[in-house]
Structure 1
Amino acid sequence: MTTGNPGTRLDLEWISKVRVNTQAVLKRAQQIQGQKILKKQWQAAWLLKAVTCIDLTTLAGDDTPSNVHRLCLKAIQPIRYDLLRKMDMHNKGVSTAAVCVYPSRVADAVRSLKAANSSLPVASVATGFPAGQETTTEHARKSTGVAVA
């Protein structure tokens, strides 16, 4: 006994009765084809919007102040100026949402952004994510709840 959907028999006669307004289809196809430029503009706009919603992140264990500084400059201007100019977006302040670094590099990021007159936020990861970047003392305190001297 079948308990599922038994389906429907294919009725080719029904398909042969289908009529298509060829002129209307062709007219609509031409309209859609003519909208390619608009579509590309919308795609570019959404891609730019996506850039403004992401954090530019470095979680390399060997980050240096100069690495963080370069990351901050990239976050302030993530898209090449000439490309922004072609889209007439060069003066719209397109930047990433934030810069994300390990806690030990937050001061470097803040210093770099301040030097560049940027109000871009700095984010940081907690508990040594993802590579366990914390001191042995911090790790012992977190795992046992006891302060280690």
Structure 2
Amino acid sequence: MNRVKFVFFFFVTGVVLSLVYNFLSDRAHRKDECTASLIVFNKNIQTHLTLNFMYELDEQKGIVAVSGSYLDGGKVKGNIRRDVIYDFDKNYNAYQFHSLEINKYGNIDSVSDEFLASMLPDFYVYPNEKISYIISKQNQHSFLIKIGSRPLLYCAN
């Protein structure tokens, strides 16, 4: 009987320690993210974009994966795929993002920086650029990204 109690105690202790370890490990490596989709029109050109914001609030850094395509006259003319590595400063619900590095996926990203800069702020195109957003939590899983009081993106995970 003592052997059964010992094995049971050992099993329960192992399960509890495993759960605690997994909880702490997940929390230490947790990265939050949210995704926003948008369509930008400029003359006869449409750009369909997805901005996937991945960030670590504690370390104040993150990555924005920018992907999509652009159409001219209704025909696909090029694809966009790049990562913007950034850090940020927070002041209440205002965030100033600072682009550190832009990584283009050369075999997918077929647009020039000049073209993309005509569609998006320079933060998403060139390194060492800044952009400020006000980010308001909408519910447990979504955010409203604004400049001033003007909503720009609805970001959900």
- TM (norm. structure 2) is 0.33
Which is helix-richer, 1 or 2? 1
Higher strand share: 2
Larger Rg: 1
TM-score, scaled to structure 1: 0.34
Structure with more contact order per residue of length (Cα contacts < 8 Å, sep ≥ 6): 1
